[in-house]
Every structure is written in structure tokens, then in C-alpha cells.
């Protein structure tokens, strides 16, 4: 099977877009990997990662409700961790996946960690790229989005996100990707996410876990990340050089390669 795209409809009528890339040997059993993107992104945020994994695993990417091609969320939508957990469980059931490896980037990593805690039998290994355990303060972002629009927010936050790692044409690609996010989704999500705190939850993660963070970015400081990473008993911390907080987007080849090595080593 090559790339396959479709939608899964949740019980509340939300359509979740997903795509599957599978270039494994058809005569061999293949594990699946679920990729969960970060805030303001979509399945396309993982584009550079897919080639590293699709030869070895069945790669499943999906757009979180409200983002990408999934159904937009209303300005007054009441977000909850439980709702996001139900979405993932429903998608896995729809795809007939009893378990999978999980990769989460930024807030997608927060979701992946919480899912691992709540569903330990469904996550065999976990990898996280610049993922926080506490929701960020969002007042400034929300003000930009509501007063000047989504594209202005995407453009103004690029320096912190990628620093000096990417050329101008790559920055423009990311701005275009994130500017496609519905404004109402961002408005409701940004009012909810500051209250998220899974600091105590992560202590219950039992599967092999890789934690990737940047060394000089304005968010997700190394010492802060190491503080909660050490509470995950079976975990490793890798530090990527760079002056932005989005290591997985700024240095996708380096992050994907070390994630693949971690997962493959765990199989031996």
C-alpha cells in the first residue's frame, strides 16, 4: 500500500482526516506508528519524517480535530483531554490497530503522553519532540490572532519557532501551512490549553520513551525538560542544537533519524 487518505467520523460528527504511508515488505508483518502534530499544524508537519519510517512501519498521520482537513472547531468549543483521547481511540479502532508506536510533536507530544498514560496497552514505544507538560501562556498569541489574523500570528512567531535554522522559503512554507488553521479553532484551543498540566501523569509512563528537546530555544528549556523526563523510568533525553523551540521542524532529518534508531533498538 502507498499513501492512502480518508476520514474517520467521531460519534459527535467530527470528521478526522488521516493518511497512511506504507512501503514495508508485504510479506512481513509491520507495526504501525501514529504521528500527532502540534498546535496550528497538520499531517503535513511530518512530511520530512515520513521517508525515514514508511519503509519499516505503517505510518499513520492524522489531523487533530479542528486542524488541517479535519472539521473546524467553533470559537466556543469546550476542549478537553478526554475528548482528544476518545478521538485517538476511535481512530485506532477504525483502523483496526490494537496498538502502535507513537510520535508527538510540541502539544501533540503532550497529547501523546497523556494517551500513553491512559492507554498503556496501546502504546508500545513513545517519542516526543519539544513537547511540554504544562500548557503555555497564550494571551499574546490570542491577541494577535483576534486583532490581525492567523497569518500574522504565524509570521510573527516564526523566529521563536525556528530561529535561524531554516531558509526564507522554508519559513514561508510553514507560515502558509499554519495560516490555513481556522481562526475559530485557534480561539477556542488557546483559551483551553493554558490550563493543561500533565506533570504528575508522566510519572506513570512505562513504555520506552525518547524525549527530544532543543538546547537554546526560548521555550522547553533543557533543564525544565530534563526535570520531568527523569520521572519517566524507561526514557532517554536527546538535545538538538538550535535556537528555536520546534526541533522537529527545524531539524527534521536529525530528529527522525534518532527516533528511528531508538525504535529499532527497542525491537532488538
Residue length of the chain: 268
Report the C-alpha gap between 83 and 72 in whole angstroms: 15
**Residue indicated by cell numbers 510520535:** 103
Q: What pLDDT sits at residue 1?
A: 41
Q: Quick one: CATH architecture of 4-267? A: 3-Layer(aba) Sandwich (3.40)
Q: What pLDDT sits at residue 212?
A: 96
For the chain, the first-to-last Cα distance in angstroms comes to 26
Q: What pLDDT sits at residue 3?
A: 64
Mean pLDDT of 216-241: 89
- Summarised one tens digit per residue, pLDDT across range 192-218 is 999 999 999 999 999 999 999 998 766
Name which of 35, 20, 55, 42 is nearest 100 in CA terms.
Answer: 35
- pLDDT value at 65 more than 60: yes
Grid cell, residue 116, equals 500513553
Confidence (pTM): 0.96
Helix (H, G, I), strand (E, B) or coil at 116: helix
Burial (CB count <10 Å: 0-12, 13-18, 19+), residue 28:
exposed
Name which of 60, 67, 65 is nearest 87 in CA terms.
Answer: 65
Q: What pLDDT sits at residue 50?
A: 98
- Per the model's pLDDT, the better-predicted residue between 188 and 216 turns out to be 188
- pLDDT value at 127 more than 90: yes
- If phi over 0 gives left and psi between -120 and 50 gives alpha, with beta otherwise, what is residue 96? left
Rounded mean pLDDT of the chain?
A: 95
Q: What pLDDT sits at residue 24?
A: 96
Q: What pLDDT sits at residue 268?
A: 56
- pLDDT value at 6 more than 80: yes
Domain ranges of the chain: 4-267
Q: At what angle do helices 183-192 and 139-148 cross, to 10 degrees?
A: 160
Name which of 60, 5, 7, 61 is nearest 31 in CA terms.
Answer: 60
Mean pLDDT of 118-130: 97
Q: What pLDDT sits at residue 34?
A: 98
Contact 69, 96 (CB under 8 A): no
**Residue indicated by cell numbers 536527546:** 238
Report the C-alpha gap between 182 and 71 in whole angstroms: 9
Q: At what angle do helices 81-94 and 107-118 cross, to 10 degrees?
A: 70
- Summarised one tens digit per residue, pLDDT across range 93-122 is 999 999 999 999 999 999 999 999 999 999
Name which of 33, 40, 30, 29 is nearest 18 in CA terms.
Answer: 33
Report the C-alpha gap between 33 and 20 in whole angstroms: 10
CB within 8 A of 46, min separation 6: which ones?
35, 37, 61, 103, 105
- pLDDT value at 2 more than 70: no
- Summarised one tens digit per residue, pLDDT across range 153-181 is 999 999 999 999 999 999 999 999 999 99
Amino acid at each position: 500500500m502507498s499513501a492512502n487518505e480518508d476520514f474517520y467520523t467521531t460519534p459527535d460528527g467530527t470528521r478526522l482526516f488521516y493518511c497512511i504511508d506504507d512501503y514495508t515488505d508485504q510479506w512481513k508483518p509491520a507495526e504501525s506508528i501514529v504521528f500527532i502534530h502540534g498546535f496550528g499544524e497538520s499531517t503535513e508537519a511530518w512530511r520530512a519524517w515520513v521517508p525515514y519510517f514508511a519503509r519499516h512501519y505503517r505510518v499513520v498521520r492524522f489531523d487533530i480535530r479542528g486542524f488541517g482537513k479535519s472539521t473546524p472547531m467553533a470559537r466556543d468549543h469546550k476542549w478537553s483531554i478526554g475528548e482528544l483521547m476518545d478521538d485517538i481511540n476511535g481512530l485506532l479502532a477504525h483502523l483496526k490497530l490494537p496498538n502502535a508506536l507513537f510520535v508527538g510533536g510540541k502539544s501533540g507530544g503532550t497529547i501523546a503522553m497523556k494517551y500513553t498514560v491512559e492507554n498503556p496497552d496501546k502504546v508500545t514505544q513513545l517519542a516526543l519532540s519539544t513537547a511540554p507538560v504544562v500548557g503555555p501562556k497564550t494571551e499574546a498569541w490570542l491577541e494577535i490572532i483576534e486583532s490581525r489574523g492567523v497569518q500574522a500570528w504565524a509570521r510573527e512567531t516564526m523566529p521563536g519557532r525556528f530561529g535561524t535554522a531554516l531558509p526564507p522559503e522554508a519559513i514561508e512554507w510553514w507560515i502558509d501551512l499554519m495560516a490555513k488553521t481556522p481562526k475559530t479553532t485557534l480561539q477556542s484551543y488557546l483559551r483551553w490549553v493554558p490550563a493543561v498540566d500533565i506533570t504528575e501523569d508522566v510519572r506513570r509512563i512505562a513504555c520506552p520513551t525518547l524525549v527530544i528537546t532543543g538546547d537554546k530555544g526560548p521555550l522547553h528549556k533543557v533543564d525544565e525538560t530534563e526535570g520531568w523526563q527523569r520521572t519517566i523510568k524507561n526514557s532517554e533525553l536527546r538535545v538538538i542544537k538550535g535556537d528555536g523551540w520546534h526541533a522537529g521542524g527545524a531539524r527534521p532529518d536529525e530528529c527522525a533519524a534518532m527516533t528511528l534508531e531508538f525504535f529499532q533498538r527497542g525491537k532488538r
